[in-house]
Amino acid sequence: MKPILKFLEKIEPDKKKHPFMHSLFDGIHTFLYAPKSVTKGGVHIRDGMDLKRTMIMVVLAMQLCYLFGTYNIGHQHFYALGEYTGFLEGFHLKLVHGLIKMLPIFIVAHVVGLGIEFWYAAKKGHAIEEGFLVSGALIPLLMPPDIPLWMLAIAVAFAVIIGKEAFGGTGMNILNVALLARVFIFFAYPTEISGDEVWISGIVKEGTDHYQAAYYAQSALDFKGYAHQFFDMLFGWMGLDTFDNIFRSTNADMTTGMLVNADTYSGATPLAIAKNEGWAVYNSVGEITGGVLNTYSESQMLWGAIPGSIGETPKLFILIGAGMLIAMGIASWRIMLGMVLGCIVTGFMFNAMAGPEMSPFLAVPWWAHFYMGSFLFAMAFMATDPVTAASTNTGKWIYGFLIGMIGLIVRVVNPAYPEGWMLAILFMNVFAPLIDHYVLEANMKKRMSHA
């Protein structure tokens, strides 16, 4: 490793002559190596875990969600076509399809976000901040796999510039940056991310009838439609031909099925079904004829083999990531448990209110809200953001409890949007400093009474 370090030190750009290149170099250098300068003196805490490596630990905790989410993209595609309907059938094809659809989203989010970070760092004359390591990893997981890439780029730019840099950079933002990117798309382009409809994705490959159809369809659009077409052709040519050569040598099925886009497929997510039909509808002989359980089993929702945003479906993998963050002392278990309690209390209240004249969503069992939708993902990776959450121990309980309560109210009562954790977390981000203020005031008042 020393020759690499010496090489990097030799090519370091001049900070005054080339500020942008120096910021880019510094970011890469500190990502690979810990700084050689450390604090000295008996009163300083010495720890090998700097902020950048703390952020990397959070990213590592998401990797199981990335793996499953990527595979699930392919699974949902082939399931819609009626091919390889078993979850592990056509494993190699589903994984390749998922990679080809996931990579453009990941690349666009990071190129736009990091590009803005580098530009601001160069203008301010300081090192690149670490905050986007986590935000950049979270944003793709929050999106449906068919999100238009131009829309994603605008959302990321808005979130980084308005949500973070306008407040002074990492550690100064009052709103969760990743959630701000999602909420921007939700309010600016609500039909793209409403959470109601099932997404299905296909791949365009040059030289096929599907490419010709896609080409003529896209030619009638403006520049906004070409981003996905470009990536589909790029990865379709590079990926499919390469993988087909490998699959051919092992007598495995080829990638032809990926080129079909199931445009006529329609369906609904568990949340949309719950809003319209409830949890389960029984006929006179006790058979389920409607509701969520008529379409999706509890096992499917728990394991995650259902439509949804890329990272929200694999509930057990999300819990593993949450456990990792708690074990490393990065995420607050108080916020997580408070959020669970808030959801339970509100769910009990809704179940008590349920009746024939009321919304069928009220009758959904309180425990089902944990694995139906994005509750667990929001609890593990979004609500626990240490910058935007409450910082006092008592405040964390209050903050988490109110997110669980408000989020479920939005999910069940709001007729326009069958999910609520995004809005609840952003709402409580705004009130987190006020919660801490009153907690500290109460503590000081209590101590003064004993003085």
Higher per-residue pLDDT: 418 or 448: 448
- Judged by average pLDDT, the poorest of 138-142, 173-177, 224-228 is 224-228
Exposure class string for 73-90: b at 16+ Cβ within 10 A, else e: bbbbbbbbbeebeebeeb
pLDDT for 263 beyond 60: no
Q: Would residue 201 count as lying in a domain? A: no
Residue 31 included in any domain: yes
Final residue of a structural domain among 192, 214, 237:
192
Whole-Å CA distances, 4 to 12, 28, 37, 65, 254 = 12, 12, 19, 33, 41
The average confidence (pLDDT) of the chain is: 79
Pairing mode of beta strands 281-282, 288-290: antiparallel
Q: Confidence band (pLDDT; 50, 70, 90) for 244?
A: low
Query: What predicted TM-score, i.e. pTM, was given to this entire model?
Result: 0.80
Q: Which of 168, 192, 216 is the last residue of a domain?
A: 192
pLDDT of residue 138: 94
**Distance between CA atoms of 251 and 92, rounded to whole angstroms?**
12
How far apart CA 160 and CA 166 sit, in angstroms, is 8
Please say if the pLDDT value at position 72 is more than 70.
Answer: yes
Least confident of 39-53, 130-144, 213-227, 422-436: 213-227
Which range has the worst mean pLDDT, 48-52, 89-93, 196-200?
Answer: 196-200
Q: What is the structure's pLDDT at 270?
A: 86
Our count of domains for the chain comes to 2
Distances (CA, A) of 70 to 79, 88, 255, 377: 15, 14, 16, 16
> Residue 431, Cβ neighbours under 10 Å: how many?
13
Q: 187-238, pLDDT tens digit by residue? A: 888 766 655 555 555 554 444 444 333 333 333 333 344 455 555 555 554 5
- Going from the C-alpha of 326 to that of each of 321, 334, 352, 442, the distances in angstroms are 9, 10, 34, 28
Number of C-beta neighbours around residue 23 at 10 A: 24
Question: Does 155 reside within a domain?
Answer: yes
Give the residue-averaged pLDDT of 384-408.
95
Tokens of 229: 């077409």
Q: What integer is the mean pLDDT of 289-317?
A: 89
Which pLDDT score is estimated for 232? 55
Decide if 26 is inside a domain. Answer: yes
Please choose, from the candidates 90, 96, 165, the residue with its C-alpha nearest in 3D space to the C-alpha of residue 126.
165
The residue to which tokens 């002392």 are assigned = 329
pLDDT of residue 258: 54
**232 is a domain residue:** no
The pLDDT, as a whole number, for residue 284 is 82
Mean pLDDT along residues 101-108: 90
Domain boundary among 163, 192, 221: 192
For residue 266, the model assigns a pLDDT of 47
**Considering all CA atoms of the chain, what is the largest pairwise distance in Å, rounded to the nearest integer?**
82
> Residue 249: what are its φ and ψ, rounded to 5°?
-70, -20
The percentage of the chain sitting over the pLDDT mark of 70, rounded to a whole number, equals 69
Domain of residue 445 covers 331-450
Does the residue 364 lie in any domain? yes
pLDDT at 163 over 70: yes
370 belongs to a structural domain: yes
Pairwise CA distance, residues 113 & 135, whole Å: 9
Residue 303 in domain: no
**Per-residue pLDDT, 212:** 37
- Give the pair of three-digit tokens for residue 9: 């030190």
Q: Which residues pair with 282 in a beta bridge?
A: 288
Residue among 227, 246, 304, 288 at smallest CA distance from 66: 304
Mean pLDDT in residue range 136-140: 93
CA–CA dist 414, 325 (Å, integer): 32
Question: How far apart, in whole angstroms, are the C-alpha atoms of residue 42 and residue 123?
Answer: 36
